[in-house]
């Protein structure tokens, strides 16, 4: 992403047909922006999270480094630990409902790109004002 040198989108890196990754799922590491390609030939992949098969990570969720995710992660929650547990929700119920209704991650790519600054740092009101009309 321009002006975001630490961000690596994961979808192009995942090649297993058994793993489904959203278009805007990313990895952010202040020391190594290519950390998504960590070594796997040792006994541990620490501090990266381990996500077990069949687990669904909800939209807007944050998974802490070193977590072992064995259960589905709710949308817009922060999870961590071994096994990973919900630490807290990122949003109040009203904000959560508004963002889920907007579903910006399903917008056409050109529209998302045109409004990336609002998506990254705008308010929910601002995001609603730039949302494409529903089809």
- pLDDT tens digits, 97-130: 999 999 988 898 889 888 888 888 888 999 999 9
- pLDDT tens digits, 35-82: 444 444 444 445 567 888 889 988 888 888 888 999 999 998 999 999
Q: Is the pTM of this model over 0.75?
A: no
With b meaning 16 or more CB within 10 Å and e meaning fewer, what string describes 92-109? eeeebeebeebebeebee
Give the pair of three-digit tokens for residue 76.
């817009």
The helix/strand/coil state of 50 is: strand
Q: How many CA atoms lie within 13 A of 77 on its CB side?
A: 15
């Amino acid at each position: 992403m321009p002006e975001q040198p630490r961000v690596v989108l994961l979808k192009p890196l995942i090649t297993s047909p058994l793993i489904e990754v959203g278009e805007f799922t990313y990895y952010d590491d202040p020391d190594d922006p290519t950390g998504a390609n960590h070594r796997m030939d040792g006994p541990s992949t620490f501090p990266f999270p381990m996500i077990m098969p069949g687990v669904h990570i909800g939209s807007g969720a944050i998974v802490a480094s070193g977590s072992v995710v064995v259960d589905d992660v709710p949308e817009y929650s922060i999870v961590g630990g071994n096994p990973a547990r919900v630490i807290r929700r990122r949003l109040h119920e009203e904000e959560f409902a508004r963002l889920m209704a907007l579903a910006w991650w399903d917008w056409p790519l050109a529209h998302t790109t045109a409004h990336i600054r609002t998506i990254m740092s705008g308010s929910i009101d601002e995001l609603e004002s730039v949302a494409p009309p529903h089809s």
